[in-house]
Structure 1
Amino acid sequence: MLPSPRKKDSPIAEQYAHQVLTRSVAPANEGRDEAIPRYTAHALRQTFAAISLSEAGADLLAVSRAMGHAWPSITLDRYGHLAPAGLAPLMSKIDALVRPLGLAV
């Protein structure tokens, strides 16, 4: 996790990220007609995973590592529906690799 700026060899407190987001958004909203919504750190993590898988085309293992999940299956369970579906892209790549070898079926 993220190291604490105050306590050596300790992670930040659970509420720290939420407090930082709140303190950042409050001044940004001063004088605005339409307020910037306050998002939680959890919502930002979810947004990262969703954009990585659905828009950026990242693979599930890379997103799992970036999210700090202990197992890729955790990422798959939560965000698998956002990953590119189907075997067609994989099979096309495999076919392109074996065709020059005369192994394509």
Structure 2
Amino acid sequence: MAILNVYSALVVLFLTCWAAMATKEYDQIIKENNCETKMGLPCVLEAFTSIFETGTISNKCCGELGRLGKVCHSALVKRTLENPLFKGLSLATIIAKRIQTWNNCLALIYSPSPST
């Protein structure tokens, strides 16, 4: 029984340390890449809404998301998911919506414009 308690304590300690390291890792990526300065607030809100709620992202904001880059996009979403306010959200759903938003924006940015 004592071994089970020690094992449980080690698992909790490991998970707590891993979460703290992950947050620091995302913060470091965000800082090193100046992620928080690459998009205007209106576009940040559009991207957030398209990923964490139900909404769309405009062509203009897709352009800003593309300039933000995949590394920043991913780190910002993952850091947001670690916030206790978003604890009840489905991780799989949010990751799928993050990928979908990114792919849709890239398709829009790099699609050939119709000739006029």
TM-score normalised to the size of structure 2?
A: 0.27
Q: Which has the higher helix share?
A: 2
Relative contact order: is structure 1 or structure 2 higher (C-alpha 8 Å, sep ≥ 6)? 2
